[in-house]
Amino acid sequence: MTQFAAPRPIWALAATIAIAALSAWLFGWGVAAGALAGGIVTIAVIFSHRRAEPSSETAPSSPIEPPSTTAPVIEAIAEPVLMVAGNRVIEANAAARALLGDHILGEDVRLAIRHPAATERLADLGGDHGGEGISLIGLGTRDQRWEMRVSPVENGRRIVQLIDRTGSYAAERMRVDFVASASHELKTPLASILGYVETLSEPEAGGDARLRDRFLKVMSGEASRMQRLVDDLLSLSRIEAEKYAQPTGSVDIAALTDAVVRELSEGGDERSNDLVLDVTNDLAPVHGDRVQLSQMLHNIIGNAMKYGRAGTPVTISIAQPKPAMVRVTVADQGEGIAPEHVPRLTERFYRADPGRSRAVGGTGLGLAIVKHIVERHRGRLDIASVRGMGTTVTVLLPIGAADEVLSSKRHDSTASAPLVESAVAPADADDADPDIGELRGLIAEMGGLAEAALDASVDALVRHDLKAARGVIAGDRRVDALESQVERLAIRLIALRAPTGGDLREAVAALKIAAVVERIGDYAKNIAKRVPAIDAGAIEPIAMLPAMARMAGGLVHDVLDAFAARDAAAAIDVAERDRAVDDFYDGLFRLLVTYMIENPESIGQVAHLLFIAKNLERVGDHATNVAEMVHYAATGAHMPERERGASPIPPIERMH
């Protein structure tokens, strides 16, 4: 048993008081007062000298260690590098701060790298992994891929290096997709050309001048189609290769749109007179790639001209609804698109009406190119369509550099909500509190597990992967255990320390957020439990669920980023984006009920899909609840009330 040892200054002061008391008894209070004063001064002088000397007995009072001499070295490295002591980030170079946010310094490493695999590796303080890397998906943006390597250095510290593998993964995926897509899409026109060549090689058909001219015209059209297809595939590959390299140029979007409209008007198309341009004055320029933005406008306006009714206007509107955004809207008055097709319109070669698309010269890549251009510009893409009324495509582009518009942790680039200016709560004394830091680290670990479980459950549903579904169900126990840890630690902190101010807000928010994240994990488990009951290949509407899951999962991802950064503005952004999930659910509910009525044999399976859709809608609601708590913990104020109102985009037709 460890014995209590009082600090030496206390023993010295006690001895001084005892001498003063003895002097008072023997010589009177005048002598005693002098003895007491002299003793106190002597103690002060002695211990002021002792403080100036280094002492191995004195433990550092702050959990954040002073910077080491390695700081200039890691700062010179281009890739993200962090120095970790225990479970705290003590150093991070510029690349790491740009990727993960400036808030990571002094924070629990689980908040900096919020990924279950990273948490498991970093928790193994004594493990020797020989520099073996692990793969992480979702740092920065949800689809970025990184390799994390952990190496021990002196004094128990560790170097964490993040290597960007997104480019190599994308290149391999593009190679595979290009071969598969090209072989599939080029097969039809190539077979057509070969058939006509074979026919013309026969003496009777080849000798007929009129028949030969007609066949050659068809062959020329098919060859042109192949050329357009190859051009679009190469263009898409180039855009994807630059996806994570943000444009740096300044583009006058109004002038560029005017130039595109003039070019299309002078192209001799029968619909050239139907173009109507409406531009708001004094628009700020956007940061972007002029060539790619021109291609985006050509594709969107060109589609409206192809699929809108002849003689009806194609309206191109440009406005600046918020200081940080420019909105480009292209609306036609065509037949519209069925709601079940809209979420898939940006997939490669997906066509709502394949015959009509090929008849008007479409390759099936136009909107896929638009999507990737918008993503590269860190913008937002919405597609709304109403049967019999037409289709509206809306693109939101940020004004100023993307780093200035978005918070340091990027939001999903296709989420349907306006951006807000960043308002990150400054770090205060709470950052140095080990209990608060542990609470935040536990919640970050919980959030990473719940987010991964949600993605895995929907993926298992679509692929009917029973093994993956069982893994999600088993993994939920870890989320439950972490919630119990958060509850015990938060209650202990409140009961024993009676915290006030920021500490109290953090502790209360931790309790509430942990409960909400645990519910998100339960929803993922519930989805996984329904996998055996659904035949994914037999129920067409199941194709809608991944789009809704991406929306809801994006809210969870971004609100946990906002929690890690104490970013109140990002929390507001998440709350606003929940409207899109609600609207998507409303439309999907009607679609599933209609399908169930038309296909009574599928009632049982569709009922499961209705429950799954509701679970995803509730995930969005819970992300909003977390956003409100993050806002309160960061600012001490409740989130402003929001007007629900009507969504500017009709239900289910909202894209992403």
Compute φ and ψ for 6, nearest 5 degrees: -75, 150
Higher pLDDT, 651 or 218: 218
- The residue extents of the domains of the chain are 8-52, 71-164, 249-405, 432-635
Q: Who has greater pLDDT, 45 or 225?
A: 225
Q: Please report how many Cα atoms fall inside a 13 Å half-sphere around the Cα of residue 551, on the Cβ side.
A: 33
Q: Which pLDDT score is estimated for 355?
A: 56
For 320, the 3-state DSSP assignment is: strand
Distance CA 596, CA 15 (A): 89
For domain 432-635, the question of CATH label 1.20.58.220 is answered with yes
- What backbone phi and psi angles, to 5 degrees, belong to 150? -120, 125
Burial class (CB in 10 A: 0-12, 13-18, 19+), 344: middle
pLDDT, tens digit (0-9, with 9 covering 90-100), for 558-600: 888 888 888 888 888 888 888 888 888 888 888 888 888 888 8
pLDDT in tens, 252-264: 999 999 998 888 8
* Residue 615, pLDDT score: 92
Per-residue pLDDT at 185 exceeds 80: no
| Choice between 291 and 174, residue whose per-residue pLDDT is larger | 291
If you average pLDDT over each of 95-109, 227-241, 639-653, which comes out highest? 95-109
3-state SS class at 643: coil
Q: 136: helix, coil or strand?
A: strand
In the chain, the amino acid numbered 146 is W
Question: Rounded to whole angstroms, how far apart are CA atoms 484 and 480?
Answer: 6
The CATH code belonging to domain 249-405 is 3.30.565.10
Rounded Cα–Cα distance for residues 229 and 231 (Å) = 5
* pLDDT tens, position by position, 24-33: 444 454 544 4
**Segment among 136-140, 300-304, 347-351, 358-362 with least mean pLDDT:** 358-362
Task: Give the predicted TM-score (pTM) of the model.
Answer: 0.58
* Structural element, H or E, at residue 162: strand 157-164
Cα(462)–Cα(465) distance, integer angstroms: 8
What pLDDT digit, counting tens, does each position of 4-41 carry?
444 455 545 555 555 555 454 444 545 444 444 445 44
pLDDT beyond 60 at 234: yes
Mean pLDDT is lowest, of 43-52, 97-106, 333-342, for 43-52
- pLDDT of 78 > 70? The answer is yes
69 has pLDDT over 80: no
Please choose, from the candidates 415, 434, 617, the residue with its C-alpha nearest in 3D space to the C-alpha of residue 526. 617
Q: What is the mean pLDDT of the chain?
A: 76
- The domain 71-164 having CATH identifier 3.30.450.20: the answer here is yes
Instruction: Give tens-digit pLDDT for 507-537.
Output: 888 888 899 999 999 999 999 999 998 887 7
Mean pLDDT value of segment 383-411: 67
End-to-end Cα distance, the chain: 62
Instruction: Check: CB of residue 186 under 8 Å from CB of residue 226.
Output: yes
The rounded percent of the chain whose pLDDT value lies above 90 is: 11
For residues 274 and 417, the model is more confident at 274
